[in-house]
């Protein structure tokens, strides 16, 4: 389970527990003085509903992540660089995701961002190392325990900071998942939204 999923699960559990506790107290009060207290039950019920929504999101997100690994196609990839995830902050700073390069089934070089979300300054995913990534219906995930120093066939091409030939690029219309802005980007490469600055896969 990722850091974000754990946070949502903790928040959801806390909200649900608070809602149940306050509801229990109010129900005890209502048994003694039934007049005028029924409206107070709306607040703890709201807490419980919000908590259940947070828990459901965390579990659904975790299920999708696991499905990507169990049902997806595995590709060995090279850790190429890092980008900040500007969707949220941890202790006042943006978490960092990892850019990887790999060859797809047609041996075409691809670039994607995988959701490592580590704290800036840590070296959990060193540049140049190999990691297993999984693709399922356009979603990507990774195996954290697969980071290794394996040399891949064509590794020099994957790690080469060469310019991409414009004729090989296929541009498509995309919508940024972070801010909802529309713009054009190259298919099969990591794109930076020109409006919010967030990086995502195309």
Cα separation of 71 and 144, whole Å? 17
pLDDT in tens, 156-194: 888 887 656 666 677 788 888 778 888 888 777 788 888
Strand partners, 135: 73, 140
Whole-number pLDDT of residue 134: 93
Residue 102 · residue 183 · CB < 8 Å: no
Look at 48-52, 137-141, 198-202 and tell me which has the smallest mean pLDDT: 198-202
State both tokens at 91. Answer: 């202790």
Whether the full predicted model's pTM is greater than 0.85, yes or no, is no
Q: How do the domains of the chain map onto residue ranges?
A: 3-69, 72-201
pLDDT in tens, 96-146: 889 999 998 888 888 899 888 887 777 788 989 999 999 988 888 898 889
């Amino acid at each position: 389970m990722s850091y974000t999923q754990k946070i949502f699960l903790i928040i959801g559990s806390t909200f649900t527990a608070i809602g149940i506790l306050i509801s229990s107290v109010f129900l005890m009060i209502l048994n003694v003085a039934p007049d005028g207290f029924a409206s107070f039950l709306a607040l703890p019920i709201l807490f419980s509903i919000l908590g259940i929504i947070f828990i459901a999101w965390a579990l659904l997100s975790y299920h999708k992540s696991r499905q990507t690994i169990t049902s997806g196609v595995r590709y060995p990839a090279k850790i190429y660089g890092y980008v900040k995830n500007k969707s949220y902050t941890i202790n006042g700073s943006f978490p960092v995701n990892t850019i990887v390069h790999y060859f797809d089934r047609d041996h075409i070089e691809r670039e994607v961002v995988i959701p490592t979300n580590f704290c800036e300054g840590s070296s959990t995913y060193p540049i140049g190392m190999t990691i297993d990534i999984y693709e399922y219906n356009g979603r990507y995930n990774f195996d954290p325990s697969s980071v290794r120093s394996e040399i891949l066939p064509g590794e020099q091409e994957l790690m080469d900071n060469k310019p991409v030939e414009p004729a090989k690029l296929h541009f498509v219309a995309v919508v940024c998942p972070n801010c909802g802005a529309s713009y054009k980007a190259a298919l099969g490469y990591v794109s930076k939204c020109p409006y919010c600055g967030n990086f995502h896969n195309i």
